[in-house]
Amino acid sequence: MVVDVAASAVGLALSLLCKAIEEVIRKCVIDKIVEFNPLLKKINTKLKTVKPGIEEIEKSNLELDRTGELKDFKQVIEDITALVRKLQEVPHWYKKPKYTDKLKELDESLDTQIMLLQVPTASKVSNLSVITSIIEGDTRNIRMQMGNMSVQVGSMSMQMENMGMQIEDLNTNLEMIRDMRQNGLVQNQVKGCWSGVPEPPSFTVGLDLRLDELKKKLLEDGVSMGLVTGHPGSGKTTLAKALCQDKKVKDKFKGIIFVDVSKRPNTEVVQEICEKKGTQILSFQSEEIALDRLQQLLNNTEEDPVLLVLDNVWPGNRTESLLASFRFKESEMSNYKILVTSRYMLPGFDVEYHVEELNDNDAMSLLRNSARLTSSSSIPEDLQRQVVECCKRLPLAIEVVGRSLFGKNIVIWKDRVEAWSSGSSVIKSEKHLLVCLQSSLDALGEENALIKECFMDLASFPQGRRIPASVLIDIWSVLIDMWAADKDSSCVAKLYELTYWRLANLVITRNEKGEVDDYYGEHFVTQHDLLRELAVHQTDEGPVKLRRRLIINIRGNKLPKWWKKQMDQPFEEVLLVSISTDGLFSSKWRDIQLPKAKVLVLNFHTKNYALPEFVKKMEKLKVLIVTNYGFLPAEVSNFTLLGSSSKLKRIRLERISLSSITKNPIVLKRLQKISFFMCNMGQAFSKGSIKFFEAFPDLQEINIDYCSDLVELPADICLLIHLKKLSITNCHKLSALPKMIGELVNLEVLRLRSCTDLSELPSSVRKLKKLKVLDISNCYSIKELPEHIGEMCCLQKLNMRQCSRMQELPESILDLETLTDVICDEETKLFWETYLPSLSNHIQITAVKEEINLDWL
């Protein structure tokens, strides 16, 4: 006869447990602890009551050669015993608040096992019917159904009556059953949660360093939640699986639960967690009940440490409620660590780890494994390397492409590389890769349709280039209907949204602490090349005539076929046109009709460039972006074509020689903003050339950045009475401002950042009565502020950090009643502190130490 040894000891375990509970009860009385004494007494009474019945079941199991019936009950007894032992060991002052919830949970588990042992395993359907009748209070019907059950059930019912179970105990059990019906029927509880932990792929690359970096972050004390994020197919899940199999991690955590979340309902996710934790759940009536049950499970501080991995988590309200269940208060001191993998930048995590693209060696190794290339392969290494570059070192792309090229002739390898290098996209030829990337856009849904539009606008710029945030601000200011008072800030908010959705990266090259105004000149956007290809793919979908954007990449003089065929037909739906040409383009344009286009982006690499003739017909044009990606400033002709653009509001020129476009001045009466970046100013403002106040009478904003040959501004710039913002940054040779700059009576922002040769501010700045922001940071040559600066009655923010030669402050600063923020260095702060007793109480002076960071170069 085979005897269930585990079950045969249950009766003895009950006796020992009852004695231990009685000992704890006596100590609680002595220590005057009353919080959980009633629970202990209640459990002790139940154990003594059911002990004869349990022993009878135990005896019957031995006679009938049955095994396992009491294992779950024994597990509950062991859990109660373990807790009671802890109550015996810990100091009495520590017992009060900590173990009550755990004791209640075990009491409920005990009730569950007592009830389940009264029903045959094969009759669970009848059992649910009985439970329903109990909840409805139909006691007579219950007894009739129980009487019609098997002989064993009737026998067990008689035993319970003979045990003298009181009616209030029955009511307690009924309440417990009612909770079970609402929260999910609990079947059994077991310790340990190692089942279902997946293995990483048999072949991996680049994991060792990543794994060490992730472990260092996640295993740090005080870290409870970590996020692994990266582009689709970057290897986030592989890294998480490798973490679960790491020896150091296994030694630290006594259990690991790995759950694939994806887009599953929270009830399913919680159910799987509970099952892998050892609590079997049949169903949850609602998401709220499921999440409540999850919090109860995770708040159990007495269990061994557990690592919970939630893989492939998607954003949305459902995700937010799920993740909220894992965020513990410090007082709760949960033994869980939560690791989430997601392609999105989800908020609220203690640490984040970004999975970057593979390095060259790892990318090559992955390709060779995926394509099953050997050392004697006929595919040369340089051709393999070209494939890796076309895949942009993204693991998923390399694996997919490698498998598709497995066993293929070298001719096919060369044909694929030539196609991809000539403008075709990897994602178009590999459907699985396209589906994976496309899912990131699909997740946006209708409520985030605007973010998808912004994402597709990023395709207007060449691959691998940093996009200045100011350029996108110009574009979106006319393409997006925004009711915000500050449209620039609203546009930048869209950049942060794109970063959150991992559709782009917002890079701030000089994120200076204490920044006091909305300056976005150091904000840039980068994008993974395959995501840009996805954006281009999105814009190319559907008939050309119905597209909202035209993204045109011209290699040499080869124009798209549709341009040749449809140049006589107007593109009625197009709002944005982007044309990129390479160094072989000869500036021979074909006509194209764009009657409603508002934005024109021109990207080129040639030393000499001519604006397209069709610009003259773009009557709705509002924004023009001209960018030369060559090393030196380019000569641009045909600028006079813009004279007919009566609605043009914004122009941005990058690496352009201005002398080439000011020979034949034009008048743009509606132009509100003009920006020059790394332009060659030369003789652009010399006598007889362009005059700002005549050419751009309605100009409200001027931005001049990194124009290294700018020495002085034209005096007539002071006649722009509508000008509100004048920003001149990183122009190191600028030595003086126009003396009559005070005539800019509507100027609100004057930014002179990093103009290192500028030695003084003209005294006429005192007349700038509407100026709110003055930024002279990193103007090393300025020794003093204007004597009558106090007359600037609206000045709110003053940035004068790293004005290292500043010797003193004029007394008139005491008259700056509206000044609220001053940014300076430690030395300059001493000057301000002299006047602090007399300054307004609401002024904030922030001293910022200079941090050496060459990234901005």
CA distances from 443 to 287, 343, 453 (A): 21, 11, 14
C-alpha span between 74 and 109 (Å, rounded): 11
State the DSSP code for 464.
T
CA distances from 447 to 444, 450, 451 (A): 7, 8, 9
| Runs of H (alpha helix) within 163-303 | 167-183, 207-218, 236-245, 247-252, 266-277, 287-298
Query: Distance between CA atoms of 203 and 804, rounded to whole angstroms?
Result: 57
Specify the CATH number for the domain of residue 243. 3.40.50.300
Pair 169, 102 in one domain = yes
Task: Provide the residue type at 695 as one letter.
Answer: A
| Same domain as 454, residue 427 | no
Tokens representing residue 122 in the block: 């094969």
Residue 539, domain member (yes or no): no
How far CA 414 is from CA of 230, 379, 421, 425, 556, in Å, comes to 30, 10, 10, 15, 21
Three-class SS state of 112: helix
Q: What are the DSSP calls for 294-345, one per residue?
A: HHHHHT-TTSPPEEEEEEEE--SHHHHHHHHTT---GGG--SEEEEEEESS-
3-state SS assignment for residue 250: helix
Reported in sequence order, the residue ranges of 314-429 that DSSP labels E, i.e. its strands, are: 336-342, 351-355
φ, ψ for residue 212, nearest 5 deg: -65, -40
Nearest to 64 by CA among 16, 7, 23: 7
Residue type, 819: L
Q: Is the pTM of this model over 0.75?
A: no
Is the residue at 104 inside a domain? yes
Clarify whether residues 183 and 41 are in a common domain. yes
Q: Residue 369's pLDDT is what?
A: 93
| Domain boundary pick from 372, 402, 433 | 433
Burial class (CB in 10 A: 0-12, 13-18, 19+), 29: exposed
Per the structure, the complete domain to which residue 59 belongs is given by 5-189
Looking at the structure, tell me whether residues 511 and 483 fall in a common domain: yes
Structure tokens at 96: 């009060």
- Whether 101 and 299 have beta carbons less than 8 Å apart is answered as yes
Same domain assignment for residues 10 and 79: yes
Residues 168 and 43 reside in one and the same domain: yes
User: Could you give the CA distance from residue 798 to residue 822 in angstroms, rounded to a whole number?
Assistant: 5
Coil vs helix vs strand at 478: helix
The Cα 487–Cα 672 span in angstroms is 14
DSSP category for residue 198: P
What single DSSP character describes residue 163? T
| 3-class secondary-structure state, position 99 | coil
Write down the pLDDT at residue 134. Answer: 37
Which are the contacts of 18, defined by CB distance < 8 A and separation ≥ 6?
44, 47, 48, 51
Residues 364 and 351 both lie in one domain: no
Are the C-beta atoms of residues 473 and 457 closer than 8 Å to each other? no
| Domain-ending residue, one of 497, 529, 561 | 529
Whole-number Å distance between alpha carbons of 200 and 228: 16
Looking from the CA of 233 toward its CB, the CA atoms found within 13 Å total 24
Longest Cα–Cα distance of the chain, Å, equals 115
Nearest one of 29, 54, 62 to 113, comparing CA atoms: 54
Question: What integer pLDDT is reported at residue 11 of this predicted model?
Answer: 72
Residues 335 and 483 grouped into a single domain: no
DSSP 619: T
**Direct distance between the N- and C-terminal alpha carbons of the chain, in angstroms, rounded to an integer:** 83
Number of other CB atoms surrounding residue 21 within 10 Å: 21
What whole-number distance in Å separates Cα of residue 228 and Cα of residue 313?
10
Q: Contact at 8 Å (CB) between 454 and 469?
A: no
CATH of the domain at 424: 1.10.8
Residue 35 DSSP class: S
The pLDDT tens digits for 224-245 are 899 999 988 899 999 999 999 9
Give the separation between CA 266 and CA 320, rounded to whole angstroms: 11
| 815 in a structural domain | no
- My answer on whether 351 and 366 are in the same domain is no
Helix (H) or strand (E) holding 774: strand 773-775
Look at residues 750, 766, 748, 769 and name the one whose alpha carbon lies nearest to residue 758: 750
On whether residue 626 sits in a domain, the answer given is no
Q: Rounded to whole angstroms, what are the CA distances from 191 to 105, 203, 247, 725?
A: 15, 33, 20, 67
Same domain? For 36 and 159 the reply is yes
Phi-psi label, residue 382: left if phi above 0, alpha if psi -120 to 50, beta otherwise: alpha
Q: What pairing do the DSSP bridges indicate for beta strands 186-189 and 279-281?
A: antiparallel
> Which pLDDT value is given to residue 424?
82
Verify that 375 and 496 share a domain, yes or no.
no
Tell me: do 481 and 388 sit in the same domain.
no
Q: Which residues of the chain have pLDDT under 70?
A: 1-9, 28-36, 60-69, 89-98, 116-196, 279-283, 285, 298-303, 317, 328-334, 482-486, 511-517, 566-567, 683-690, 850-857
What is the C-alpha to C-alpha distance for residues 123 and 127, in angstroms, rounded to an integer? 6
Question: What DSSP element (H or E) covers 652?
Answer: strand 650-654
- Is the residue at 751 inside a domain? no
In a domain, 611, yes or no: no
Tally of domains in the chain: 4
In whole angstroms, give the CA distance from residue 427 to residue 414. Answer: 17
Question: Is there a domain that residue 460 lies in?
Answer: yes
pLDDT at residue 228 in the model: 95
Residue 235 lies in a domain: yes
SS3 state of residue 766: helix
pLDDT value of position 291: 77
**pLDDT (tens digit, 9 = 90+) per residue, 106-139?**
777 787 777 766 533 333 333 333 333 433 444 4
Secondary structure of 794-836 in the HEC alphabet?
CCCEEECCCCCCCCECCHHHHHCCCCCEEEECHHHHHHHHHHH
Q: Which two tokens stand for residue 69?
A: 């019936």
Exposed, middle or buried by CB within 10 Å (0-12, 13-18, 19+), for 582? middle
**DSSP letters for 529-551:** HHHHHHHHHHHHSS-GGG-SEEE
**Boundary of a domain, candidates 355, 380, 413:** 355
3-class SS of residue 19: helix
Q: How many CB atoms lie within 10 A of CB 221?
A: 4
Distance, in Å, from the CA atom of 258 to the CA atom of 237, rounded to the nearest integer, reads 11
As a whole number of angstroms, the distance between CA 299 and CA 609 comes to: 67
Whose CA is closest to 399, among 374, 363, 375?
363
Pairing state of beta strands 673-677 and 351-355? unpaired
As a whole number of angstroms, the distance between CA 176 and CA 135 comes to 10
Is the CB of residue 803 less than 8 Å from the CB of residue 777?
yes
